[in-house]
């Protein structure tokens, strides 16, 4: 490079840095304005540095006055065209971002947004993110609506479930008071059964509210599957006998699970009681415990005849009960007592299992048709 060229480069760089610095200051001043301002500024800075450089080198006599005029004119015309292009581009970007803003507003108002494939990749990415947020929002709205409706159902069913036995007990106590009861023994027994049932329901509601509030206390300790299964069988045996249901089960020897003893035993009791209630006389209910690759599985299999897809979808909902459970048949006292649930058992099972970071699911099984509730707990 000749000395002259070095000097020209230095002068041009000096001018460009000077104009660039002013440009940066201007950019800082208009930083909150429309993107059109920033794009226009880029054009002004580039043409400005060219012109400043040309003026400076012409002063140093590197180019003639005539050349200086020609270059300046060309730069000025190029500058005007570039400015128009920049403004058009700025307008397009503003339009795209306005579309995005409208989209965000519809997301706020209607909860849905469809991704817009136009605009530069950054805006497209933003638009896709908005669409994903909209999907997540829709899911959580659905969940909330379902929770709300099950809460409403819970209140109406629980009040019904409390009012009916209370009315019955009132009638029975009145008859006892008046000495009109034909069989006072039976009335006393029935009142005790009803009181027990209502007390259990209040306990369940309390447990459920603790689960929902996230304050369920879990004190995990290693538990042998064999013990869990045999305790569950022993606990449910009297009810199974009353229903003439064969209750059996087994677990792999030496397999342990780390869980809250009271919580897990409640899970098994609720599942086994359900299974016994929904299995016809002479049917079989089987509890199995085994180790699986990512933890431990406890399953309760019954002969309920299978559940419909809608029933499978709802069994774990709070206060949901199958149609058969809502219209109890005339049965022996103990049987009808056990048949009459509040629809809280499986919601409690799910809450306790999830508090252990496990999952509970139900599937239909064949020959004889029934269903299997499977609890998977991490090892």
Ligand X SMILES: Nc1ncnc2c1ncn2[C@@H]1O[C@H](COP(=O)(O)OP(=O)(O)OP(=O)(O)O)[C@@H](O)[C@H]1O
**Residue whose C-alpha is closest to residue 334's, from 278, 288, 277:** 277
Spatial contact of 305 and 334, defined as CB atoms under 8 Å apart: no
* Alpha carbon distance 281, 273 (integer Å): 14
**Residue whose C-alpha is closest to residue 41's, from 76, 89, 83:** 83
Residue 342 interacts with which of Mg ion, ligand X, none, CB < 5 to 8 Å by class? ligand X
Please report whether residue 288 would count as binding ligand X according to CB under 6 A. Answer: no
Among 346, 352, 375, 376, binds ligand X (CB under 6 A): 346
β 246-251/284-292 pair status = parallel
Interacting span for Mg ion (CB under 5 A) from 29-37, 122-130, 330-338, 345-353: 345-353
Please report whether residue 299 would count as binding ligand X according to CB under 6 A. Answer: no
* Smallest distance, ligand X to C-beta of residue 262, A: 17
Residue 356 interacts with which of ligand X, Mg ion, none, CB < 5 to 8 Å by class? none
Among 103, 249, 345, 370, binds Mg ion (CB under 5 A): 345
Spatial contact of 348 and 207, defined as CB atoms under 8 Å apart: yes
Among 53, 249, 341, 358, binds Mg ion (CB under 5 A): 341
Token pair 């003439």 in the structure block, residue = 244
Q: How many residues bind ligand X (CB under 6 A)?
A: 21
* Smallest distance, Mg ion to C-beta of residue 341, A: 5
**Residue whose C-alpha is closest to residue 352's, from 237, 234, 217:** 217
Interacting span for ligand X (CB under 6 A) from 38-46, 258-266, 289-297, 339-347: 339-347
> Residue 19 or residue 275: which is nearer to ligand X going by CB?
275
Please report whether residue 351 would count as binding Mg ion according to CB under 5 A. Answer: no
Q: In the chain, at which residue ranges do the beta strands (DSSP E only) sit? A: 221-224, 246-251, 256-259, 284-292, 295-301, 359-365, 370-378
Among 54, 107, 275, 298, binds ligand X (CB under 6 A): 275
* Smallest distance, ligand X to C-beta of residue 322, A: 2
> Residue 8 or residue 271: which is nearer to Mg ion going by CB?
271
**Residue 299 DSSP SS3:** strand
Phi-psi region of 119 (alpha: psi -120 to 50; beta: other; left: phi over 0): left
Q: What is the DSSP string of 111-160?
A: S-------S-HHHHHHHHHHHHHHHHHHHHHHHHHHHHHHHHHHHHHHHH
Sign of torsion, CA 20 26 29 32?
A: negative
> Residues 161-200 vs ligand X: string with x where CB under 6 A?
----------------------------------------
* Smallest distance, Mg ion to C-beta of residue 302, A: 12
Specify which residues 295 forms β-bridges with: 292, 378
Q: Which of residues 244-273 bind ligand X (CB under 6 A)?
A: 270
Q: Which of residues 235-274 bind Mg ion (CB under 5 A)?
A: 274
Interacting span for Mg ion (CB under 5 A) from 26-34, 126-134, 309-317, 335-343: 335-343
* Smallest distance, Mg ion to C-beta of residue 193, A: 17
> Residues 300-329 vs ligand X: string with x where CB under 6 A?
--x-x--x-------x----xxx--x----
- Check whether the bond before 140 is cis (ω within 30° of 0): no
Nearest-10 Cα torsion for 309, 315, 319, 322? 60
* Smallest distance, ligand X to C-beta of residue 364, A: 10
Binding residues for ligand X, per CB under 6 A? Answer: 204, 270, 274-275, 278, 302, 304, 307, 315, 320-322, 325, 341-347, 371
């Amino acid at each position: 490079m000749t000395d002259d060229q070095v000097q020209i480069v230095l002068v041009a760089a000096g001018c460009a840095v000077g104009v660039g610095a002013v440009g940066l200051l201007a950019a800082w001043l208009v930083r909150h304005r429309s993107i059109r301002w920033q794009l226009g500024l880029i054009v002004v800075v580039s043409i400005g540095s060219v012109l400043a450089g040309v003026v400076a080198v012409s002063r140093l006599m590197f180019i003639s006055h005539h050349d200086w005029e020609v270059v300046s004119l060309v730069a000025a015309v190029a500058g005007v065209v570039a400015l128009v292009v920049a403004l058009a581009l700025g307008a397009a970007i503003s339009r795209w971002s306005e579309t995005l803003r409208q989209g965000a507003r519809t997301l706020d108002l209607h909860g849905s947004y469809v991704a817009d494939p136009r605009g530069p990749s950054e805006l497209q990415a933003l638009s896709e993110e908005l669409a994903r947020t909209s999907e997540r929002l829709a899911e959580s709205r659905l969940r909330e609506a379902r929770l709300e409706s099950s809460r409403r159902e819970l209140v109406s069913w629980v009040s019904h479930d409390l009012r009916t036995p209370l009315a019955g007990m009132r009638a029975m106590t009145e008859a006892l008071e008046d000495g009109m009861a034909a069989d006072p023994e039976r009335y006393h027994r029935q009142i005790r059964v009803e009181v027990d049932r209502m007390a259990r329901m209040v306990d369940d509601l309390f447990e459920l509210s603790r689960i929902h509030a996230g304050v369920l206390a879990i004190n995990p300790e290693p538990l042998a599957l064999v013990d869990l299964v045999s305790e569950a069988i022993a606990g449910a045996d009297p009810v199974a006998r009353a229903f003439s249901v064969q209750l059996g089960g087994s677990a792999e020897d030496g397999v342990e699970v780390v869980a809250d003893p009271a919580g897990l035993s409640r899970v098994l009791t609720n599942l086994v009681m359900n299974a016994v209630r929904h299995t016809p006389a002479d049917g079989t209910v089987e509890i199995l415990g085994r180790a699986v690759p990512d933890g431990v599985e406890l399953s309760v299999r019954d002969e309920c005849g299978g559940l419909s897809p809608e029933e499978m979808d709802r069994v774990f909902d709070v206060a949901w009960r199958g149609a058969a459970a809502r219209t109890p048949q005339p049965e022996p006292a103990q049987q009808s007592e056990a048949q009459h649930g509040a629809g809280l058992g499986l919601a409690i099972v799910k809450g306790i299992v999830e508090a252990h970071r496990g999952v509970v699911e139900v599937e239909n099984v064949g020959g004889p048709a029934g269903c299997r509730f499977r609890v998977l707990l991490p090892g």
